[in-house]
Amino acid sequence: MLHQLSLGTLASSPLLRSAWSREPGAAADLGGPNLGGPRLGGPNLGGPRRVVFFLQNQGMEPATCIPKGLQDSCSLAGHQLPEPISPLEPFKEKLHIISGLHGLHTSPSHSAFFGALGGYRGVDGSPPLASTVDYELSRLLPHGLLPHLCIGMDSLESMRAKPTLARLSASGAGKPIFMHSNPNHLYQMIFGALAEGDLRSQYEARSSLLTRVQSFAEAGLETLPAGETLRYGAFVDGVGEVNRLRESLASHSDHLVKFAPKIDELYANPLHETDWHDRLFDLGISALKSGITNVLTVGSGRGEIFGSWKGLGITEQGHNHGHMKQPDNPIWIKIRQYNCQMLVKLMVELESVPEGSGTMMDNTLIVYTSNNADKQHTSGANWPMVLIGDCGGVFKTGCYTRMTRKRPINALYASLLQTAGAQVSSFNLSKQMQERYDHGNGILAEILA
């Protein structure tokens, strides 16, 4: 029972993820151990106020996201988006499609796992080597009650068996960040104080149990040998942090009630995995709109080599998807269009909320890519990226860029961190690695207006 409790709640602990270990403006170690050294971070001085990463597993082949016939960098005006991302056609002026970044040093193959957002070697079953860009952005951007929220989409069987899983995001070396995969658990965490019926009962029971666990844990801490107190103390602090987080969210219920999605039968009894995918994404949108988080990471396939979309009429599932050619493949067209429909919903929802002299979308950057570069069993030589949003004119939009120099995905991530206020010229690359894998200089000027 405690194991399941920890999976469902401790994964959200800001203390365990070190997400509240630094106030805005303090030093940020963006280099990782032996990967590039410390850098100075600073307060957000412009650029994005929130960032969303949407990663699809099994790769993103260039032909599925680049208009047919394009060879050189150019405007997207007058060019039709390929069928897989056609739902984004009405928003074409907000897009920047990038081809030619690489992740050779991440050894992606089946997946780069933590390396997809960390820009370092990622291996199945191995802990992260350093923090990932989404976590570092969560430290720089204005903080909410949940500095960073990760959600993961998979088959129903997998999401039920593993309601949290860590494969994509990390707060440091050996510090994975878990993805929420059960919308019932996530709803309870964010909106539990507003719930009714069974969800309310579960929320109250879980809160009562967590309070008792904290009391017992604190008492047990006093009886342990000195060598065990540090590790056990982190668990005790984590439980306390979870309880404080739940209390804080409950105390903001008057504000959160405006953003809580409607609970329906498909939360408890989904017909297909996509029913849970949709509800998880709705909760992510609600978290952004309410302001309790400013960084959302979505893992479709949860950074692994599996995945299921039976709700789209796709009977095949799992690793076989990675062995299908993506261009002109009706299965992959459905999956990509489903992703893009989610992104369109996100944009429309954020555009409906005023912020400053514009809307929330005007201050939001969306990064749509894959944790597996261009395809399954890839070298990572081409890692397509689709950026959505200009964030007040900071980023170029309405264009296609074909990289002509050897630049790694790390250059893009360093550029995003700089626009968020960090004084960085690289991200998770040592000088030796830069000389080998980066033929450019500093940030990625091609993405900036």
| Strand 385-388 relative to strand 74-75, pairing | unpaired
DSSP per position, 116-132: HHH-S---TTPPPSS--
pLDDT digits (tens, 9 = 90+) for 305-315: 999 999 999 99
Residue 215 placed within a domain: no
Structure tokens at 290: 């309410």
Residue 255 placed within a domain: no
Structure tokens at 439: 């033929």
Q: Which of 89-98, 186-195, 289-298 has the lowest mean pLDDT?
A: 186-195
Cα of 121 vs its chain's centroid, Å: 18
Residue 243 placed within a domain: no
The residue among 35 and 151 whose pLDDT is bigger is 151
Q: Strand, helix or coil at 366?
A: strand
Tokens 């060598």, residue located: 227
The residue among 283 and 224 whose pLDDT is bigger is 283
Distance of alpha carbon 163 from alpha carbon 9, whole angstroms: 10
Identify the H or E element spanning 295.
Answer: strand 295-300
Residue 249 placed within a domain: no
Q: Strand, helix or coil at 179?
A: strand
**Cβ(89)–Cβ(398) below 8 Å:** no
Distance of alpha carbon 339 from alpha carbon 435, whole angstroms: 36
Alpha helix positions (H), 252-327: 253-256, 265-268, 273-290
Which backbone phi and psi does 100 adopt, to 5 degrees? 110, -10
pLDDT digits (tens, 9 = 90+) for 140-154: 999 888 889 999 999
The residue among 38 and 354 whose pLDDT is bigger is 354
Residue 261 placed within a domain: no
- Domain that includes residue 274, residue range: 16-184+267-447
Nearest to 113 by CA among 296, 326, 295, 305: 305
Percentage of the chain lying above the pLDDT 70 cut: 88
As a whole number, the mean pLDDT across the chain is 86
**Cβ(91)–Cβ(344) below 8 Å:** yes
Q: Rounded to whole angstroms, what are the CA distances from 265 to 199, 270, 276, 342?
A: 12, 7, 11, 21
pLDDT digits (tens, 9 = 90+) for 47-65: 899 999 999 999 999 999 9
Q: Using the CB atoms, write b or e for 376-396: b if 16+ within 10 Å.
A: bebebebbbbbbbbbbbebbb
What was the pLDDT predicted at 45? Answer: 44
Distance of alpha carbon 426 from alpha carbon 406, whole angstroms: 15
How many of the other CB atoms lie within 10 Å of CB of 91? Answer: 20
Q: Rounded to whole angstroms, what are the CA distances from 373 to 19, 96, 202, 331?
A: 28, 17, 40, 19
Q: How many domains does the chain have?
A: 1
Q: Is the pLDDT of residue 70 over 90?
A: yes
Q: Which of 183-192, 208-217, 276-285 has the lowest mean pLDDT?
A: 208-217
Structure tokens at 144: 């909410």
Mean pLDDT of 341-361: 97
Identify the H or E element spanning 98.
Answer: strand 95-99
Alpha helix positions (H), 222-270: 226-251, 253-256, 265-268
What was the pLDDT predicted at 46? Answer: 56
If 0-12 CB within 10 Å is exposed, 13-18 middle and 19+ buried, where does residue 357 land? Answer: exposed
Q: Using the CB atoms, write b or e for 265-291: b if 16+ within 10 Å.
A: eebeebebbbbbbbbbbbbbbbbbbbb
The alpha-carbon radius of gyration of the chain (Å, integer) is 21
Residue 241 placed within a domain: no
Q: Is the pLDDT of residue 42 over 60?
A: no
The residue among 55 and 45 whose pLDDT is bigger is 55
Mean pLDDT of 394-417: 96
Residue 303 placed within a domain: yes
What was the pLDDT predicted at 22? Answer: 29
**Cβ(79)–Cβ(380) below 8 Å:** no
Structure tokens at 362: 């005007």
Q: Is the pLDDT of residue 319 over 70?
A: yes
Looking at residue 347, which CATH number applies to its domain?
3.40.720
Residue 27 placed within a domain: yes
